[in-house]
Amino acid sequence: MHLLKDRGAPFPAPSEITPPSVYRQRRTLLQGLGAALAGTAWAGTAAAQTTARPGKLAELPARRSTLPGAVTMEKLTAYADASTYNNFYEFGTDKADPARYAGSLRTRPWTVAVEGEVKKPGTFDLDTLLKLAPMEERIYRLRCVEGWSMVIPWVGWSLAELIKRVEPTGNAKFVQFVTLADKAQMPGLRSSVLDWPYVEGLRMDEAMHPLTLLAFGMYGEVMPNQNGAPVRLVVPWKYGFKSGKSIVKIRFVEKQPKTSWEEAAASEYGFYSNVNPKVDHPRWSQATERRIGEDGLFAKKRPTLMFNGYEPQVGQLYAGMDLKKFF
C-alpha cells in the first residue's frame, strides 16, 4: 500500500531507541498482571520504558484500552523501525524520506476545522482536542498495501467522540479527511505523484466504529512528525493509506468523496480498501505480508488476515457486500 504519510516533533536517532527486548519484557509483565491493572491509569507501554532515552518526545500518558479488539499482545515493532520506515509522500516517496525531512513540519499552532453536514461546525485547536476525551493506548496491527505490516502502540481516542460532539445531520453519510499541504514545510509536494492536498474518506458507520482512532501519539509519546503529527487517523482493519496524517479538516458529506489514491489509480485503490487477502492488488498478491523487524528481508512471510485480524469487530459493517467489487 502506499501508506499515508507521516509527521510530528523532532524525531529521535535510532541509537537513542529503547531496545525491543525491553518492550517484550514489559509486555510479559503486563500479561501476568492482567486484570489487576484493568481500569488503572498507566503511562503507556512505551512511555515508562523510554524515560532514559535522550531526545525522546514529550510523554503522552494514556490508559490502556479495554475495548474489544483494541489491544493485540503481538510483539511490538521497534520504535526505530516504526519511525523511520514510512509512507508520507508529502516528504518524499522513499521510505526513509519522512524521517529525513519531516523535521520542517511545524505542529503548533495547529487547528482542525470541522464542517459540512453537522449542527455544530467549528475549529478545534490542538490543546482542545487533546482534552476532548480520555487518552487510551491501543496496540493495533498496521497493514500496508505494499505487503508489509507493523504492530504499534497508538495513543488517542475514538473518532466517534468528536463526531458525537459536532452532531451530524441526517444528510451526513460519509466523512472526508483533508491533510496539510504546505510547500514551505513539505518538500514532497513538488512532486506530481498525487494531487494535493491528500484526501481520504470513510463511510459514516466506519467513522463511528469505536476502533477508528484519532491518534495524537505512539509508544507513550506525542506523534513523531514523520508518523503524522500532531493528529492522524488510524483505521486498523484498512490498508494504511486510509489513515490520513496531519489532518487539518474533517468534512461531513452526503455523497461518497473521491480519495487521493482513487483519483490517481482507481483500478488499484478502491474507496473501501479493507485488508482482504482474497483481493489482490493488480500488480501483486495480498495473501501474505512481511512484518517489519522480523529477521530481515528473508524472513518467512505470514498469512494476511481478513480485515487485518479485526473481522470479529468490524465484519458486520460489510455484511452482504461484494468485497471484490467494493474493494
Task: Write out pLDDT tens, residues 239-295.
Answer: 999 999 999 999 999 999 999 999 999 999 999 999 999 999 999 999 999 999 887
Domains and CATH numbers, the chain: 14-318 (3.90.420.10)
Q: When comparing pLDDT for 137 and 7, which is higher? A: 137
Asked whether 217 and 126 are in contact (CB, 8 A), the reply is no
Spell 31-61 as b/e; 16+ CB within 10 A means b.
Answer: eeeeeeeeeeeebbbbbebbeebeebbebbe
β-pairing, 41-42 vs 148-158, is unpaired
Read off the pLDDT band of 307 (50, 70, 90). very high
What gap in Å lies between CA 20 and CA 120, rounded to an integer? 44
Percent of the chain predicted with pLDDT > 70: 82
pLDDT reading at 31 higher than 80: no
Read off the pLDDT band of 160 (50, 70, 90). very high
Read off the pLDDT band of 299 (50, 70, 90). confident
Where helices occur in 62-170 by DSSP H, the ranges are 79-82, 97-101, 126-131, 159-166
pLDDT tens, position by position, 61-78 = 999 999 999 999 999 999
What gap in Å lies between CA 230 and CA 222, rounded to an integer? 7
Q: Is 215 helix (H, G, I), strand (E, B) or coil?
A: strand
pLDDT reading at 124 higher than 50: yes
What gap in Å lies between CA 198 and CA 5, rounded to an integer? 9
Average pLDDT, the chain: 86
